[in-house]
Structure 1
Amino acid sequence: MALMTQAEFAAHRGVGKSAVSNWKKAGLLVFAEGPDGKLAVHVERTDAKLNARIDPTRGRPTTAIGEAPAIGELPMESDAAQTGGRNAAAVRVEVAEEELVARRMKNAEMARQLVPLSECERRLASLGRMARERVMAELRGRAERIAAARETREAMLLMDEACDAAFAALADAIEGGALDRDEGEAPEAEAA
């Protein structure tokens, strides 16, 4: 984690000190507590934030200056000396919150409460296929009755019934663990 003073950061970015002051007022600088206990600009996080928010052709924020800082970012007042102790404490709180979230994520992963993205994508794809197949099967089963319907309202009622039946069967299949099986496995109840 590289830390710099505002003047050093201005030289790093190739801008004047006034530009860094403007970025600070706009809440675009990310501060961290240095080894000496003073707040300094966190270079990597600030660079990332500026690169995402600064118009490269003008060097100015792409949104309004008065916009509130993002969650997790510390708003800094213009007189850092007056509020330095409070901001250092806020930095410590932010770091503690990040560590807490990381621990909670690790615990949830160990408790198997989290599903890997690839598994989630596989299950969603399977769910989409199952939903389509069940709706199509129900509509095929009622196709003659739908075609024989004399009124649009009657045909719509038959299609609504088919969709309701398909989704009720899909819910039963999901409760039965159909999404937990591999795609190659198909029990006799689903095959029928």
Structure 2
Amino acid sequence: MIRKLAIAAAMTVATASVASAQDCTAITVEDAFDLDETQINVLYDCLQEKMATGYAKEGDDIGSNYRSWAATATRPAVAGPHGNRLLNTFANDVAAEQYLKFEEEGFEMPIGSVLAKESITVSIKKKAARPGPLFIMTKVGLDEAPDAGGWLYSGLQPNGKVMKVKQSFCHDCHVGWEAQDSLGYPLEEVRVTQ
């Protein structure tokens, strides 16, 4: 009898753990912009390992290594672009020094700069969050990408598969930040300060 009770208790704990893991992605807001800092941190804590593992799944060099780069924000935030997803940007060693200045004009990122933006997709309809794509910007120079300001846009699906990306689709939005070398930055309240 005691053994049956112990097994039943263990099954209850295991079931509660699974339910708890699933509940950490639940949302109650009607708009992603209504998520507060605590809610965003809970979602990120819940999903960050799943994102990192998923992006690395196919062995992509950026998807496998971006987490060792410089974080540019203290947490993800909704900036508006990228489908109102929560974004968290990392900068490689070539990009970090310049990017982290968050300058608004009069500079150009060095060739070889790579930015990787994790994203969390917030589904208001499903009342849940899930990993979104890893958006990637690579500064290759005007010779290689003359129509995109010297940037190559790419991405990885949450399962690590390469996304098909139309360069003009990305650049048509990023050109709005032409004075800052087509870079959108994290929201001011979450930017890492040097």
TM range, smaller chain: under 0.3
Larger Rg: 1
- Structure having the higher strand fraction is 2
- Structure having the higher helix fraction is 1
Higher relative contact order (CA 8 A, sep 6+): 2
Give me the TM-score of the superposition, normalised by structure 2: 0.26
Give me the TM-score of the superposition, normalised by structure 1: 0.27
